[in-house]
Amino acid sequence: MIRAREIVKEYLDGDGTLVRVLDGLSLEVGQGDFVAVVGPSGSGKSTLLHLLGGLDVHYTGEVEVGGIKLRGLRDQELARFRNSHVGFVFQSFHLIPNLSAVENVLLPSHFGSASLDARKRAEAMLDRVGLLSKKDRAPVRLSGGERQRVAIARALFTGPKLLLCDEPTGNLDAATGAGVIQLFHELHREGLTVLAVTHEERMSSAARRVLRLKEGKLVEEPSAHATPGGGS
């Protein structure tokens, strides 16, 4: 599903020096896998997600997602790739405050309320995350966990095979976060590929693989799901 090779990503610092955030990073994620990426603040986790999702194209190396090589795609092709292949979930939900839950889910359709099919689909996605009964509520009238569920429903709307999540439980208390983690777990069981950047222990223990971002590279960590007796 994801294949990244020899990724080097540098930022220009305030004083004009180049800072290398990703330094020859490689990554392979199989279809249907559930991967957690952990690492301290500033280690480059969000940077990596942006590259994998086609939001940032300024790097060297190769990124291939769902068989599509991102290098060399034109803006329009990249936009199409993002729309059809990946769903993004962010720490701060990114919901539009003056739209209802169902209208937020509909956003990726570009048809708004015009298309009945799109609306039905948006409602089906809200049903999937357990929020159909609150479909007409504005985000301010939803709890944090419910807002994140709406954001997940929106990410699922276009039928992506891959969910890229940046600290999806970062703004939630432990109990609410646990519910959202459970939802990711179910989506993974239904065949979705999930890659989540997280500080949350429970998220990384729900994942099948845990990768630590360290000095610009990813190192595989033993996970709770590692095959018994594996070891060295």
Ligand X SMILES: Nc1ncnc2c1ncn2[C@@H]1O[C@H](COP(=O)(O)OP(=O)(O)OP(=O)(O)O)[C@@H](O)[C@H]1O
Binding site for ligand X (CB under 6 A): 11, 21, 39, 41-47
Task: Measure Cα distances from 161 to 7, 81, 88, 142, 176 in Å.
Answer: 23, 12, 11, 27, 25
Rounded to a whole number of angstroms, the minimum distance from the CB of residue 92 to Mg ion is 11
Cβ-based nearer residue to Mg ion, 155 or 213:
213
From the list Mg ion, ligand X, none, which binds 21 (C-beta under 5 to 8 Å, kind-based)?
ligand X
Cβ-based nearer residue to Mg ion, 45 or 135:
45
CB 148 within 8 A of CB 89: yes
Question: Which structure tokens are listed for 126?
Answer: 């809200």
Cβ-based nearer residue to ligand X, 48 or 187:
48
Which helix (H) or strand (E) segment holds residue 85: the answer is: helix 75-85
Rounded to a whole number of angstroms, the minimum distance from the CB of residue 148 to Mg ion is 16
At residue 4, the 3 state secondary structure works out as strand
Cβ-based nearer residue to ligand X, 46 or 204:
46
Q: For residue 227, what are the contacts with CB-CB under 8 A and spacing of at least 6?
A: none
Rounded Cα distance between 31 and 69, Å, is 16
Q: Which residues contribute to the site for Mg ion (CB under 5 A)?
A: 46
From the list Mg ion, ligand X, none, which binds 42 (C-beta under 5 to 8 Å, kind-based)?
ligand X
Cβ-based nearer residue to Mg ion, 20 or 120:
20
Q: Which residues pair with 90 in a beta bridge?
A: 166
Rounded to a whole number of angstroms, the minimum distance from the CB of residue 1 to ligand X is 21
Rounded to a whole number of angstroms, the minimum distance from the CB of residue 41 to Mg ion is 7
Q: Which residues pair with 87 in a beta bridge?
A: 163
Rounded to a whole number of angstroms, the minimum distance from the CB of residue 126 to ligand X is 28
From the list ligand X, Mg ion, none, which binds 169 (C-beta under 5 to 8 Å, kind-based)?
none
Sole residue written with tokens 């739209």: 99
